[in-house]
Structures are given as structure tokens and as C-alpha cells.
């Protein structure tokens, strides 16, 4: 069966190394950036990152956000049964266009911002010396800050991948993580415990009655699930939908703020209180959640004796992030592996 692997990620994330691995295995390489470079050449533009970003944005604005993905699909159809690695996915509409190819799997690669910047500084791309400030601005643009919906939106692309890799170690570490992806989807390797418990957390999230965000959480230890929870109104209390909507929405409270003004109990809180209810010892355990914990959950997790949190999607609570950065008892880890949806 022909295999198609799409790649998305920020500059300096390591996408090129994964492409190199696949090319060495006989995969044919194509990049959405190739289409942009061809157009930039036609327009007589130098191939700087800024010119290519502007050209790509113009193509999406003129012909639709998924135009580069459609162009790649047309190119691939010219060939027979060839395995493909498709690089340079920077807008969710491009990913959706590529998913029309049967068997397409998209891998996301990322790393901490400071590490991405350091890598780019060491590469000195574009034949000139770029300052840290220049690269920070370019990274923000890639993430989608200040961009239109049909522009650079790599952050949103990373939220919709089939497999996620955090590339913050050695090249050998990256190769090992990507090898797990290949073996997993060939049926040659089982899901890891992290993948199992994160899948369970997403399954519990399907029980959520929150009108804003569906969150599930699992507490595990020594490879065994101990408790679980999902966000919603406390036991015996009407759900928000039964009372005419979300109180926070009615009051215009932004996400990540004023958590006390909410009828719901968070998934992490429910998982911890379930342990108290049934007398289950969760000290030394790992809490899995499809969302970064808020400040209230963070305080409960710290005091419960849980030693590790594995989270998937980000949550913009600066107070929680500040407190968790100040402590040393709890390890916070971004989830890697097969992605699951609600």
C-alpha cells in the first residue's frame, strides 16, 4: 500500500531531518514550498523566507487557503505507486486538501521557542546574519500572529496532526520517536502507555457537558489506571445547557481567567476527588489530560502528591504556568505520540 506522510512544524523543528529519514527509505519528496518558490521565481523575487511567506500568503488569498495542498495532490497523481513525504504544510486548509489522498498521515514536529531560535541562529540561513529579535518575529508569523486565516498558521496545523513529536533532544532521539510512528502505523509496534492513557483521557472528554471545552483526565501509576474525570457541573447540579448557557460566556470572561466564576468542575479536579471518595492512593502517580491545567487544578495536583503531568493541548493561564515553573516537585511534560480527537 502506498504511504503518504505530511510534515508540519516551525522553522528549526527538525522536519528536514524526518524528510531525510524518509528519503533514505525510498520515499519521494515534495514540498508545498516548492510551489511557492516556483511562483516567486516567476515573479522575479529573491527566495528569502519573507518573500516566500508573502508569496504563499498571496496564493492562498487569491486561490483559496488550500491551494498549495491541491497543487501537490495534482503533482502526486502523475506518478504510480510511490511512497511520498510531503513537507511544508503551513495552513490547516492545506492539510485538509492533502487528507483527500487516501492513507495520508500528517506528522507535527515542534520544540520550545528558545531552542528553535538557537537552532536558527546557528544555521545562519538566507546567507545573512539574523538577530534573535528578527527570528522571534519570523517565528511569531509562522505561528499565525498577525496573519490572516489563509496565511501562515502552523500553530493550528500542529493541533490537527495524526502524530506529534517534541524534538528537544538528540538526532538519535528524534529518529527513535519517528521510528515509533512508522512501526505503529505499520502495525509493528503497540501504543505506548502515554498513548493509551491519553486516548482514555480523550474518551472521558466525550462525557463532558462544558459548553466551551471538552476535557478528560486520567490518573495512572505503574501502567495502571487509578481514576478518571471529565469537566462538567458537580454531582446533582443542573448542567449549563439546562440553565440557558455558559455563565462565563454571558459575563464575557476570557479563557484562562477567573476560574472561580464557573459552574463546572474541571477534569483534573474530578479525577483527584474520585481518588479521595474511593480511598485510592494517587501519590507518585501521573496525571494525563488533554489540556494544560489551570491554576486551581495545578494547586490541587501539587498538593495531591502526583509526580508528573502529561498534557496535550495548551491552555492560556499565565498564573498557572508561572506557579508551575517555580516549583520542583511536579514534572510537566508535553504529550507526544499518536493524536486522538473528541
Residues carrying an active site annotation: 268
Residue written as grid cell 448542567:
239
Q: 280 to each of 61, 198, 253, how far by Cα in Å?
A: 55, 20, 35
Give yes or no for a contact between 262 and 234, defined as CB atoms under 8 angstroms apart: no
> Residue 264: which of 291, 302, 284, 285 has the closest Cα?
291
C-alpha grid cell for residue 299? 494547586
| CA atoms within 13 Å, Cβ hemisphere of 144 | 14
Class of residue 299 by CB neighbours under 10 A (exposed 0-12, middle 13-18, buried 19+): middle
Please name the residues in contact with 223: beta carbons below 8 A apart, sequence gap of 6 or more.
193
Q: What's the CA gap between 175 and 71, in Å, rounded? A: 30
Amino acid at each position: 500500500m502506498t504511504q503518504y506522510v505530511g510534515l508540519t512544524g516551525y522553522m528549526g523543528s527538525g522536519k528536514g531531518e524526518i524528510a531525510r529519514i524518509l528519503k533514505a527509505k525510498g520515499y519521494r519528496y515534495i514540498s508545498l514550498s516548492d510551489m511557492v518558490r516556483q511562483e516567486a521565481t516567476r515573479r522575479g523575487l529573491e527566495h528569502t523566507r519573507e518573500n516566500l511567506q508573502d508569496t504563499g500568503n498571496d496564493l492562498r488569498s487569491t486561490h483559496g487557503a488550500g491551494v498549495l495542498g491541491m497543487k501537490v495532490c495534482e503533482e502526486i497523481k502523475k506518478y504510480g505507486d510511490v511512497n511520498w513525504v510531503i513537507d511544508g504544510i503551513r495552513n490547516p486548509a492545506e492539510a485538509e486538501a492533502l487528507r483527500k489522498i487516501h492513507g495520508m498521515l500528517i506528522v507535527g514536529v515542534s520544540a520550545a521557542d528558545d531552542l528553535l531560535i538557537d537552532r536558527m541562529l546557528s544555521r545562519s540561513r538566507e546567507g545573512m546574519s539574523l538577530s534573535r529579535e528578527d527570528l522571534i518575529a519570523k517565528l511569531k508569523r509562522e505561528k499565525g500572529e498577525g496573519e490572516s486565516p489563509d496565511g501562515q498558521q502552523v500553530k493550528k496545523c500542529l493541533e490537527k496532526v495524526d502524530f506529534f513529536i517534541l524534538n528537544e533532544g538528540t538526532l538519535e532521539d528524534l529518529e527513535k520517536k519517528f521510528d515509533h510512528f512508522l512501526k505503529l502505523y505499520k502495525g509493528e509496534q503497540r501504543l505506548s502507555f502515554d498513548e493509551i492513557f491519553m486516548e482514555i483521557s480523550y474518551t472521558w472528554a466525550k462525557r463532558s457537558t462544558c459548553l466551551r471545552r471538552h476535557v478528560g483526565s486520567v490518573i495512572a501509576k505503574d501502567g495502571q489506571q487509578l481514576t478518571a474525570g471529565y469537566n462538567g457541573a458537580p454531582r446533582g447540579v443542573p448542567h449549563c445547557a439546562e440553565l440557558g448557557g455558559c455563565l462565563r460566556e454571558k459575563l464575557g470572561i476570557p479563557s484562562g481567567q477567573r476560574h472561580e466564576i464557573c459552574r463546572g468542575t474541571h477534569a483534573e479536579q474530578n479525577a483527584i476527588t474520585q481518588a479521595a471518595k474511593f480511598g485510592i492512593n494517587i501519590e507518585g502517580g501521573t496525571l494525563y489530560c488533554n489540556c494544560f491545567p489551570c491554576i486551581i487544578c495545578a494547586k490541587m495536583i501539587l498538593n495531591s502528591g502526583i509526580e508528573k503531568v502529561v498534557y496535550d493541548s495548551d491552555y492560556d493561564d499565565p498564573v498557572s504556568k508561572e506557579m508551575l515553573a517555580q516549583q520542583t516537585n511536579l514534572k510537566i511534560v508535553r504529550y507526544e505520540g499518536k493524536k486522538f480527537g473528541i
